[in-house]
Amino acid sequence: MMQISESNNQRHSLFSAMNRFIGAVNNMDQIVMVPSLLRDVPLEYEEKGEVNNAVVLTGGNGAASYLTDRDMYSYYVLLKSIRNDIEWGVFQQGDDKKKEKLSTAVDKCRLDPEEEDENLQKEFHFHLSGLHTVLSKLTRKANTLTNRYKQEIGIGSWGQ
């Protein structure tokens, strides 16, 4: 398979970050043949005296997933769920949330048009940067999970 080298700008694009994440999760999915072996296995080896901070992600189904003290199986399910949300879209759970967002958007439209455009651009860049950061972290988690699975079943040197 031929890979096209990414320029520096392309490498930092949201599209490239999504493709890297989806590729990492697809690779994880191909390597992990028996997901039940991931149960009760911590994702990372614990460092002496190090305390992990809790991170909360909300998947498309609205359930919050806490990423502290989770086993590899929980990460596996979470990563696959997020991949599906990216590929197929997020199921919207009700018109009440849409109505609230619409009324908030209408209130924001009452701002000066130039000020609104500037706010929209800042808001877009803020969310774009955050999404890129989260996708990068999730990609690393998928790669870590894949490598740990290979270590656990004794095929740590495969594919390297």
pLDDT tens-digit readout, 65-119: 444 568 999 999 999 999 999 999 987 666 555 556 655 655 655 656 677 778 9
Q: How many residues does the chain have?
A: 160
pLDDT confidence of residue 2: 43
Number of H helices, E strands in the chain: 5, 2
Residue 141 CB neighbours (<10 A): 23
- Asked if pLDDT for residue 45 goes beyond 60, the answer is no
Confidence band of 51 (pLDDT split at 50, 70, 90): very low
Amino acid at 4: I
Q: Which helix (H) or strand (E) holds 18?
A: helix 14-31
Q: Which residues have CB under 8 Å from 122's CB, separation 6+?
A: none
| Cβ-proximal residues to 64 (8 Å cutoff; 6+ apart), any chain | 56, 57, 58
Going by pLDDT thresholds of 50, 70 and 90, the confidence category of residue 54 is very low
Mean pLDDT on 9-34:
93
CA distance 15 to 35: 28
Integer angstrom CA distances of residue 20 from 14, 57, 67, 108: 10, 19, 21, 35
End-to-end CA distance of the chain: 16
**What is the SS3 assignment for 5?**
coil
